């Protein structure tokens, strides 16, 4: 099997890249180890930056997002029983974010790829990327599905370029020699206990709350489904928390002033899980003709809502560079891919780290640490410059 661009992974990054290349008349093949049902049900991010929304629309994948997504023009910070709203459009010249779950983005892109795009092979496990430093890289793979006789048989996808969108545990990053790799990471001593609940959201925008008991977040998936999170110690078993205990703890951490009539809406919990928190960057994001994108190259704690959006920035950068190369023969943008992406990645890492350390209470926090957190929140609440920095970072870094 041959193609121009081999794409490993059918998450939002790999699928969007395939769509962008298809629209530019460039062929690709997408290899995905899981089946379609699993891919379309993976619960991940739900906040789309302005740039991500614009890219999905221009790629022809925004119709349902525009119909069902929820535009948000701000977030609320809550601490010491105080509430402070950040007005995104007023601080950024009109930018906003959209609540539209990653599962829905993936469903839209899968449908487009199967209807109009090149091969999208589910249940196809990439085993290794070979020859990344040559002009003929290859991806060895096996299929669990497919036509009779294909299941279990090892095959090869010959490419001109390979883009690894296969996440932290995929094979792509392993093809970059250790001698040229640098890794930067931080693991946090807490995670997020998240629930999905069949109840209308308790607020019409996201609420980020810092309390002496730890962090809490009010989010949503739709006007009828709430997504809520609690900071818990690393390694917590979600089953150790009863539904009632989760609601009670949310109530405590989101407490407002006595004269505030805000209430927490409670309802049936339909899903419960714990998300670990870490920051991770692999440099470089390119080796020869292998390009890393999304979680294959970087991970951010979810506090800044950056993971999916960073992945979109990566594949937009690659697609623009590759189209430029095809049209002009000039490889300068491809050669600059890693540096271009990493500038955006490190800004997102900075913002996500700042939000995480401002809002979460470390298990070894001192009174000094607590006062610093409050001072950082007070600065945002009283300084337009600090507010503007948060709003600009939250609504998204340029893809240019």
Which ranges in the chain are annotated with CATH 3.30.9.10? 188-276+361-395
Q: ω into residue 231 within 30 of 0, thus cis?
A: no
The mean pLDDT of the chain is: 95
* Catalytic residue flag (residue 302): yes
Active-site residue, from 208, 229, 287, 337: 208
Work out the pLDDT band at 149, boundaries 50, 70, 90: low
What is the reported pTM? 0.94
Q: How far apart are CA 88 and CA 105, in angstroms?
A: 23
Q: What is the pLDDT of residues 195-250, one digit of tens each?
A: 999 999 999 999 999 999 999 999 998 999 999 999 999 999 999 999 999 999 99
* Catalytic residue flag (residue 229): no
Active-site residue, from 22, 72, 203, 298: 72
Residue 103 has which token pair? 């599962």
Once rounded to an integer, what is the mean pLDDT over residues 283-296? 98
* Catalytic residue flag (residue 72): yes
DSSP state of 361: P
Q: What is the pLDDT of residues 5-48, one digit of tens each?
A: 999 999 999 999 999 999 999 999 999 999 999 999 877 778 99
Can you give the pLDDT at residue 285? Answer: 98
Active-site residue, from 203, 282, 306, 360: 306
CATH of domain 5-72+98-184+278-354: 3.50.50.60
Q: Does domain 188-276+361-395 have CATH number 3.40.1410.10?
A: no
Which ranges in the chain are annotated with CATH 3.50.50.60? 5-72+98-184+278-354
Q: What are phi and psi of 287, to 5 degrees?
A: -140, 110
Contact 88/96 with Cβ under 8 angstroms?
Answer: yes
DSSP string, 280-318: EEEE-SEETTEEE-GGGTEE--GGG--HHHHHHHHHHHH
Active-site residue, from 188, 203, 302, 360: 302
């Amino acid at each position: 099997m041959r193609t121009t661009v081999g794409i490993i992974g059918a998450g939002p990054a790999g699928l969007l890249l395939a769509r962008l290349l298809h629209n530019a008349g460039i062929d690709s093949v997408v290899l995905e180890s899981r089946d379609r049902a699993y891919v379309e049900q993976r619960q991940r991010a739900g906040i789309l930056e302005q740039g991500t929304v614009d890219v999905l629309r221009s790629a022809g994948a925004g119709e349902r997002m525009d119909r069902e997504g929820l535009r948000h023009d701000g977030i609320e910070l809550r601490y010491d029983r105080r509430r402070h709203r950040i007005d995104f459009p007023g601080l950024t010249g009109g930018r906003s974010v959209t609540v539209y779950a990653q599962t829905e983005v993936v469903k839209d892109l899968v449908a487009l790829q199967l209807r109009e795009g090149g091969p999208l092979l589910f249940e196809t496990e990439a085993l290794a990327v070979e020859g990344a430093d040559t002009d003929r890289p290859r991806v060895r793979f096996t299929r669990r599905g497919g036509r009779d006789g294909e299941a279990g048989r090892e095959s090869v996808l010959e490419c001109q370029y390979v883009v690894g969108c296969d996440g932290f545990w995929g094979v792509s990053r392993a093809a970059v020699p250790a001698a040229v790799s640098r890794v930067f990471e931080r693991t946090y001593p807490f995670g997020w206990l998240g629930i999905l609940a069949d109840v209308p959201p308790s607020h019409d925008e996201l609420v980020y709350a810092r309390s002496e008991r730890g962090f809490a977040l009010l989010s949503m998936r739709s006007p009828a489904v709430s997504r809520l999170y609690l900071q818990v110690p690393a390694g917590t078993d979600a089953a150790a928390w009863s539904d009632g205990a989760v609601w009670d703890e949310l109530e405590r951490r989101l407490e407002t002033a006595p004269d505030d009539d805000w209430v927490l809406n409670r309802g049936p919990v339909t899903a419960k899980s714990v998300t670990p928190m870490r920051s991770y960057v692999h440099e470089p994001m390119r080796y020869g003709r292998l390009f890393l994108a999304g979680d294959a190259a970087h991970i951010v704690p979810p506090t800044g809502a950056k993971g999916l959006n960073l992945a979109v920035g990566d594949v937009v950068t690659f697609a623009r560079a590759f189209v430029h190369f095809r049209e002009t023969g000039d490889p300068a943008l491809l050669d600059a891919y890693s540096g271009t992406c990493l500038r955006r990645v490190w800004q997102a890492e900075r913002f996500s780290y700042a939000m995480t350390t401002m809002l979460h209470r470390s298990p070894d926090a001192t009174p000094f640490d607590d006062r610093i957190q409050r001072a950082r929140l007070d600065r945002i609440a009283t300084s337009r410059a600090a507010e503007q920095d948060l709003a600009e970072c939250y609504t998204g870094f340029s893809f240019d």
